[in-house]
Every structure is written in structure tokens, then in C-alpha cells.
Amino acid sequence: MAVLSGSPDARLPLVGRDQAALTIRAMYSDGEPSNVTKVLAGSPDTLAAMAPFLSQVMNPTTLDLATKEVVVLRVSAVNRCDYCVPTHQLVARRSGLSAEAVETLSAVELTGAGLSPREHALATYCDQVVADAAAVDEDLLADMRRHFADHEIVELTVLAGAITTLNYVAGVARIPVDPRTLAAT
């Protein structure tokens, strides 16, 4: 599998449609997949298992996309993911988050500027989950419960873990941000 042209900095191959295993080629049928999908395609069984899981945790449920983007952007910023932060800044804006909220969530240090109390509680929760999930204390959990039902806290926690996994893959692979993303900002 060759690295696609235009991605000389990637340390793991970005698998094109023609090189993708037949078992996952359908994931390329709706247009050009993300660069993280192309890296995961290097391990077809892993991608085949992860795709439905990621679809479940990323798509709207009782939680809207803007709320999920708070998690995606905050976790990616804390994990210092050079691929996920710029990619999800655009997605977060499209989901309805303000420019100030996106900027705050993208910073390594959380200030709370431009965040609603609900978004701030969630961002603070994400910071603690990434740092040490076992150290989430009763006060932080009580703050989360003011804004979210228990089943939503479970879902948000699973989302934070899934995004951390993608942050790790993107970091190791040094996945380049898609030029289409950069052009859209």
C-alpha cells in the first residue's frame, strides 16, 4: 500500500480506494473518506469493527452533534491531536458551536470563555477523563448530572474514549489534515 500523493508527512499509509481491501471498499463509495479512515483501512479488520462503533458514538442520539463536538474537540485538544483539532474546529462550527466556544475548546488550557455552563461542565469533565478517569470526583459528577442524564454521561464517556483512540492513531501516523478541510476554514 502506498501513501497517497500529497501526504508526504504521513508515517503510516493513507490507503486509497483501489488499494483498500474488498471487505471495506464500500466505505469509499460515498466519496473520499477522511484521512483517519484511510489510515485505519491499512488494518481492514480493525476498520470493519470500528466503523459501526464510531458511527454509533458520533451520530446524533439523545445528544445532539454540537454536544458531541464539545467532547471531540476538547478531548482532541487535551491529547494535542494535530489532525483532529483543525478538522473538528470546522465540524464544531457547522454543528452550531460559536467561534469563541470552538477557540476555547481548542486550547490546551481550558478557560471557559464563550462556553455555556453545560458546555463548560462537559469540557471540564473531558479534561479529567483524559487525565485520569478514575479521579472524576463526586462534585464533577454532580455538575455533569445537572446537565446530563446518567445514560448520556455513559455515552459521552465512551465517546471521549473513542476519540482518544483516534487521537492516538492520528498522532502515531502523523495524518495530514485534508486540504479540503483547510480550504473550507
| Per-residue pLDDT reduced to its tens digit, 123-147 | 999 999 999 999 999 999 999 999 9
Q: What's domain 65-184's architecture?
A: Up-down Bundle (1.20)
Sequence-separated (6 or more) residues with CB below 8 Å from residue 97: 66, 69, 70, 73, 105, 119
Question: What pLDDT does residue 49 have?
Answer: 95
Q: What is the rounded distance in angstroms from the CA atom of residue 12 to the CA atom of residue 40?
A: 9
Residue 168 CB neighbour total at 10 angstroms = 12
Between 185 and 108, residue with greater pLDDT: 108
Q: What is the mean pLDDT of the chain?
A: 92
Question: What pLDDT does residue 132 have?
Answer: 97
pLDDT tier, 3 (very low <50, low <70, confident <90, very high otherwise) = very low
